[in-house]
Structure 1
Amino acid sequence: MKKVYLVADNITSPLGATTAQNFEHLVNGVTGVRQHDNETLSDDPFFAALFEKGYFQTDERWTKFEHLIIASLTETLFGVDKNIAGKNTVLIISTTKGNISLLETETPGPELDVRIALHTSAKKIARHFGFVNEPIVISHACISGLAAMITGMRLIQSGQYDHAVVAGADVISKFVLSGFQSFQAVSPALCKPFDVDRDGINLGEGAATVILSEIKTEDEAIELVSGTISNDANHISGPSRAGEELYYAINKAIDAGGLKPEDIDFISAHGTATVYNDEMEAKAVTLAGLQHTPLNSLKGFYGHTLGASGLIEAIISAQSLKQNIIIPTQGFNKQGDDNPVNVCSQPISKPLNNCLKIASGFGGCNAAIILTKSQKEI
């Protein structure tokens, strides 16, 4: 089986325009989540991680969603071999909402139907950067980012491509925010993942890009060892109460990576700070025998960035492996689940080799990937 490496990446978020800027802010405990009083998004004040007004370019060719994808791709592709867009490369776009905000501003009709379609944006972006192959769109609720990485990994391992450029983004509109508010799932304050007092999510905007390749560009690189997807087949919005289906994905990913539970150095959880999501994750982690493994959630820094969340959090996990630092869980104070897990409340510095990244989403979807520090060859 071919090995697949993370050879370049970018995070574009309210915390910074590069991965390095983002990671530095996380290490220093800086969060992008704050209170907003914006009546175009909500009648009431709300907490979220949003880009500053004026960040998005005024250009009729591109929507906010597309602008974010382009910004992240541009930063990632800068300095990369120009052949990266050739026939041996596939572009994969990850998002949950895409241009859904156009429903709020445009007149319904055939033109809007075409413009709002995810494949329309993907093809425009592919042409902009000169990708010659048909782009792939992955829109699979909140596991979209991880599902896109797994898809890229499998396409490389199957021999169809040498490289996969995976980019994901979502922006927050009134349509998106009101949807979560209708579920009573939005916290009125800063979110508290895995905490006894957690009461809902904060949303966030962001984009991320990672280039996967069978070609190792550095002596020490991060390898995407394995990835698995499962489904609860339980409920359209509520996660399984048992956690067995996420456990299945975790167990399969660890086994496919040739590892054992004790080999996992830390877990990057989905950690939305809703009562049921965090409880389900804690049960799944416990079933996997990983309840003592250090675990974090980044939602207190970024909010829930939907289709970009899996990518952003996987890239930060890769940086954690490289720099041997586990980022703490912003907002966590006291254990709040019947199955206690080892939630990081302070930064941890220690040698790190293997990370388990997990995510879950509406429709009962679950995903798990293993990232491993590929050691220098002697």
Structure 2
Amino acid sequence: MGQLSNKSVFIIADNVCSPLGRTTAENFDKLKNGISGVQQHHRADLSNAPIAASLFNGNEVLIPGADTYTKFEQLLVASIAEALSQIKVQVDDPKTGLIISSTKGNISLLGTEENNEELQKRISLNTSAQLVARLFGFVSQPVIISNACISGVMAIVTGMRMIQSGEYNQVVVTGADVISKFVVSGFQSFQALSAERCKPFDKNRAGLNLGEGAATIILSGDEKYNGNIRVTGGGISNDANHISGPSRTGQELADAITKALSNAGVKSTDIDLISAHGTATPYNDEMEAKAITLAGIQHTPVNGLKAFYGHTLGAAGLIETVLAKQCMVQNTLLPTLGFEETGTAPLNITSAISDAEIKHCVKTASGFGGCNGALVLSK
């Protein structure tokens, strides 16, 4: 990529596809009514013990007649198709990009299929990306972002930079993850899962819930979308600290936030909403609270949506950014479900739905390997 310009990057269409609904509007309506997708599940194919998670029904048809596509790919296709139905985008233009974000992709096939050369190719994220690109008729080479739990946020920041580089006019950014025994056992080995619905930033938080879902954001540099919400800044950093434990100071996530604010040309006092990563694990929430404080935005209303969706891994940053954008459009602060008493460095956690003018929003994310991401949305 060449020199980045200050070109405006607009969100021109979006979708959230989750157990709560197949469109952004359906999902936002459920959130406003305090309805969570996280339920207790007794699924031997996922875990020997019951788990609290947000899952699609096992027999749910995401794309009729799409037997050749895995559940992960069907989620991507369903989300992209719904977003594209909202606006005319020339996908066969070389200046239309496609970014796919996921942490696990088709990894669950390792548990159900014979491990051979064909399977190795099938579980490659590149295979899924090419399938999806061909289905819709994209001609540009798909970009894959798989950087733990910041993948979704990083994908949006990458899409913004692709447009600002002048190499692309519009970019379709999509992401999805499905939950398998492989994923569940990994988080169980860390003792990171809560047996009940998670409580981000709460004193009695006991760990995270997992979730399935997909989301799509279509970005454009065309000034005819001047009235739309913009992606104005982004920052990525790494703790260089520990493979699974977050920074104890929060300085590195704070650096990503500060970088995103500078990139967006806004001050800390301009931010009206923080859509936090908020996994509800003891260490992540404390680190994030410290980072928000170090970045000077600790008085800004903060919400965490993982008690509604669980942690949707590579889709989380996308789902939560779409809903943050919807908060801005509707001038609404969503509650942090289950939050009662602060259990971290002091933050202004939203505990009830309320009206508020939201001109600028920060979305944060952190993940294994010490990665951190932040982006700014602006009216």
Q: Where on the TM-score scale, by shorter chain, does this alignment land: which range?
A: over 0.9
Tell me the amino acid that sits aligned with residue 348 of structure 2: N
2:98 to 67, 70, 91: 91
> Is the counterpart of residue 70 in structure 1 residue 77 in structure 2?
yes
* CA gap 1:79/1:258 in 2 versus in 1, 3 angstroms: closer
Output the aligned Cα RMSD: 1.0
* CA gap 1:10/1:322 in 2 versus in 1, 3 angstroms: same
Tell me how far 1:14 sits from its aligned partner.
Answer: 0.5
1:115-136 CA-partner distances (Å, limit 9, x unpaired): 0000000001000000011111
| Corresponding residue number in structure 2 for 1:29 | 34
Tell me how far 1:80 sits from its aligned partner.
Answer: 2.5
1:80 to 55, 71, 87: 87
> Is the counterpart of residue 210 in structure 1 residue 204 in structure 2?
no
> Is the counterpart of residue 264 in structure 1 residue 271 in structure 2?
yes
Tell me how far 1:348 sits from its aligned partner.
Answer: 2.1
Q: Secondary structure of 2:285's match?
A: helix
Tell me how far 1:94 sits from its aligned partner.
Answer: 0.2
- In the alignment, the residues of structure 1 paired with residue 243 and residue 261 of structure 2 have an alpha-carbon distance, to the nearest angstrom, of 27
Q: Secondary structure of 1:368's match?
A: strand
1:170-227 CA-partner distances (Å, limit 9, x unpaired): 0000110111011000001010100001010000000000001001454521000010
Percent of matched pairs sharing the same residue: 57
| Corresponding residue number in structure 2 for 1:376 | none
1:143 to 137, 144, 150: 150
- In the alignment, the residues of structure 2 paired with residue 280 and residue 81 of structure 1 have an alpha-carbon distance, to the nearest angstrom, of 42
1:51 to 52, 56, 64: 56
CA contact (8 A) 1:7 1:217 kept: no
1:368 to 367, 371, 374: 374
CA contact (8 A) 2:91 2:136 kept: no
Runs (4 or more) in structure 1 with deviation over 2 Å come to 56-60, 216-220
CA contact (8 A) 2:16 2:79 kept: yes
Gaps of 5+ in 2: 1-5
Q: Secondary structure of 2:149's match?
A: coil
> Is the counterpart of residue 358 in structure 1 residue 361 in structure 2?
no
Q: Secondary structure of 1:192's match?
A: coil
- In the alignment, the residues of structure 2 paired with residue 322 and residue 361 of structure 1 have an alpha-carbon distance, to the nearest angstrom, of 28
CA contact (8 A) 2:10 2:226 kept: no
- In the alignment, the residues of structure 2 paired with residue 270 and residue 175 of structure 1 have an alpha-carbon distance, to the nearest angstrom, of 23
CA contact (8 A) 1:142 1:361 kept: yes
Q: TM-score normalized by structure 1?
A: 0.97
Tell me the amino acid that sits aligned with residue 173 of structure 2: V
- In the alignment, the residues of structure 1 paired with residue 186 and residue 114 of structure 2 have an alpha-carbon distance, to the nearest angstrom, of 21
- In the alignment, the residues of structure 2 paired with residue 8 and residue 85 of structure 1 have an alpha-carbon distance, to the nearest angstrom, of 18
| Corresponding residue number in structure 2 for 1:348 | 354
> Is the counterpart of residue 284 in structure 1 residue 291 in structure 2?
yes
> Is the counterpart of residue 39 in structure 1 residue 39 in structure 2?
no
CA contact (8 A) 2:198 2:338 kept: yes
CA contact (8 A) 2:12 2:87 kept: no
2:317 to 296, 310, 334: 310
- In the alignment, the residues of structure 2 paired with residue 139 and residue 219 of structure 1 have an alpha-carbon distance, to the nearest angstrom, of 31
Q: TM-score normalized by structure 2?
A: 0.96
- In the alignment, the residues of structure 1 paired with residue 219 and residue 334 of structure 2 have an alpha-carbon distance, to the nearest angstrom, of 24
Q: Secondary structure of 2:280's match?
A: coil
- In the alignment, the residues of structure 2 paired with residue 217 and residue 177 of structure 1 have an alpha-carbon distance, to the nearest angstrom, of 45
1:128-149 CA-partner distances (Å, limit 9, x unpaired): 0000111111000000001111
> Is the counterpart of residue 109 in structure 1 residue 116 in structure 2?
yes
Matches within 5 A, 1:139-218: 139-218=146-225
1:267-313 CA-partner distances (Å, limit 9, x unpaired): 00000000000000000011111111100100000000000000000
- In the alignment, the residues of structure 1 paired with residue 333 and residue 108 of structure 2 have an alpha-carbon distance, to the nearest angstrom, of 35
- In the alignment, the residues of structure 2 paired with residue 139 and residue 255 of structure 1 have an alpha-carbon distance, to the nearest angstrom, of 25
Tell me the amino acid that sits aligned with residue 107 of structure 1: E
- In the alignment, the residues of structure 2 paired with residue 66 and residue 72 of structure 1 have an alpha-carbon distance, to the nearest angstrom, of 10
Tell me how far 1:84 sits from its aligned partner.
Answer: 3.4
1:80-112 CA-partner distances (Å, limit 9, x unpaired): 225134211010000000000000011011001
- In the alignment, the residues of structure 2 paired with residue 82 and residue 211 of structure 1 have an alpha-carbon distance, to the nearest angstrom, of 9
CA contact (8 A) 1:6 1:210 kept: yes
| Corresponding residue number in structure 1 for 2:248 | 241
- In the alignment, the residues of structure 1 paired with residue 127 and residue 20 of structure 2 have an alpha-carbon distance, to the nearest angstrom, of 29
